[in-house]
Amino acid sequence: MDNFPAPTRRQLLTAIGKTAGVAALYQAMTALGHAAESQFDGPPNLQGAKKGASVVVLGAGLAGMLAAYELRKAGYKVTILEYQARAGGRNWSLRGGDKYTELGGATQNVAFAPGNYLNPGPWRIPHHHRTLLHYCKAFGVALEPFVQFNHNAYVHSTDAFGGKPVRYKAAAADFEGNVAELLAKSINTKALDDRLTPADRDRMLTALKGWGMLDDDLVYKVGLRSSSHRGFERPPGGGVNGAPIPSKDLHGLPDLLDPQVWSSMSFFMGHEMATTMFQPVGGMDMIGKGFQKQVKDLITHNAKVTKIAQDANGVTVSWQDVVKGTASETKADYCVCTIPLGVLNQIDTQLSAPMKSAIAAVPYSGQVKIGLEMKRRFWEEDEAIYGGISFTNQEIGLVSYPNNAFFTDKPAVLLGAFARDVGAYHLAGMTPEERIETALAQGSVIHPQYRKEYLSGASVAWSRVPWTLGCCARWTEESRKQHYQTLVAMDGRVVLAGEHASYIGCWMEGALLSSIDAITRLHKRALEA
């Protein structure tokens, strides 16, 4: 690497422009199903159901329960078959007293204090996920703010800042200041090819000076101006020592251009990750419970589906009661299947060959979440961090701070890991105890208090969750082109729904929108029959 020439100013600016191409990135993410504006324009308008028409819904996750709720309102006779003893699916919270056994047999007895919980699946709701917000309001699910973006949280990379965590506000301020200085000097020396009018040139220099906290010589340096964004050595106060002291050490471009650093800053620019965000009061499973209240009488729990058969007259679903060991059949005119694709692919189904190929073509991600209960809220008391997220390039991925019960003197649960990709793969291969140890070791790099304050922990490796075999569907541009329309089409008398049948994958909003779309098309087919 030493033999390569240092980048020119123009090359560096070009590189920065490329890394900041948020609009282009968002368009690419939308094409792959990772980010999209919600298309919700109100509940489905289902009218005129034929008397006695029936639907069996497979799965009591949010997609299944919404389908059942709206179909019953429309006049259909509805039955829900659910494998678990609870409703909600991936809308799930682990609390003190819960017992969870993963594939391989490892069992965790959760020991969190009353009121504390880990949300293994969804944990936040964007403000533009209007379907979910609509039904939360309709079903009386109380929501509260989720602090997504916290300037006082940390950015950590083992390859930058000497491996030490730095405050987000300091890294962001120094990044902006350095980039603004480069741009300002390039404009001032007429180094850019793009021609500016004298008026535009002056206005842009003024803007860069203010945005990047530059001095009159267009330099980003230690002083009160830069400290106004990144923080002070001693903040303004009152009395004799009221004068502020500027922060002394600015971070240089080599560290700021570390991918972990700038990607952490650009994270909050993504459409799906923008403020304002929400969470249910009392845990994410409050949403599932709110939905369950609407359809509780329709759900048969502990029902393991073993076969889905269909013919010109209807659908027959064979299932076993996993508690009693008995076998049963449920017949209906139509079926809404919300079973995750990895599980559905293992069930005997009378679906078309193209549909079976589509089901088999979509792998699932294997994220890992770890909850760490601490004796006290040291991140608040010691470091003035109230909610938000700290990022690291270690396997744990991030640390997210609880967004409720601020300033209380009792144990609280940190999200001590949200691991993806290689990190998740590695953690999933560990025992639950080893995952906790890894989270403590890596989290201690950001918060040295971890070991002293730790009480108990719990982890969920989604690739080891028996009823999903993964976290959420991972489409590619190629697989969507080849299989998506087949997957979401009605196959005889069966239609699929869930986040896998949407362009808002991994989000509850995608599951609900796919459910509305599925039952709307089912209803139309039923009226035409």
Q: Give the pLDDT mean for 13-23.
A: 43
- Does the structure show a pLDDT above 70 at 33? no
Tokens of 90: 């991936």
The share of the chain scoring above pLDDT 90, in percent, equals 70
Cβ neighbors of 24 (< 8 A, separation 6 or more) are none
Quickly state the pLDDT bin for 34 (edges 50, 70, 90). very low
Of 474 and 11, more confident? 474
pLDDT at 26: 36
Domain 170-234 has CATH 1.10.30.50: no
- Strand pairing class (368-374; 314-321): unpaired
Q: Give the pLDDT mean for 201-209.
A: 81
Contact 68, 288 (CB under 8 A): no
Peptide bond into 520 cis (omega under 30): no
- Residue in the block written with tokens 């293994």: 120
Q: Give the pLDDT mean for 96-106.
A: 97
Q: Give the pLDDT mean for 188-213.
A: 74
Q: Give the pLDDT mean for 446-464.
A: 98
Please state the separation of Cα 437 from the chain's center in Å: 24
Q: Give the pLDDT mean for 53-79.
A: 98
pLDDT at 188: 72
State the pTM of this model.
0.86
pLDDT at 4: 40
pLDDT at 69: 98
Of 207 and 438, more confident? 438
Run of H or E including 425: helix 421-428
Angle separating helix axes 168-188 and 9-19, nearest 10 degrees = 130
Map out the domains of the chain as residue ranges. Answer: 54-87+299-354+474-528, 94-152+275-283+365-464, 170-234
Contact 397, 445 (CB under 8 A): no
pLDDT in tens, 289-304: 999 999 999 999 999 9
DSSP strand E in 213-358: where?
Answer: 232-234, 245-246, 277-280, 299-300, 303-311, 314-321, 327-332, 334-337, 348-349
Run of H or E including 417: strand 412-419
Q: Give the pLDDT mean for 232-257.
A: 81
pLDDT at 244: 83
Quickly state the pLDDT bin for 216 (edges 50, 70, 90). confident
In total, the chain counts a number of residues equal to 529
Between CA 199 and CA 433 the distance in angstroms is 64
Between CA 39 and CA 196 the distance in angstroms is 41
Topology of the domain comprising 94-152+275-283+365-464: Polyamine Oxidase; Chain A, domain 2 (3.90.660)
Domain spanning 54-87+299-354+474-528, CATH architecture: 3-Layer(bba) Sandwich (3.50)
Quickly state the pLDDT bin for 179 (edges 50, 70, 90). confident
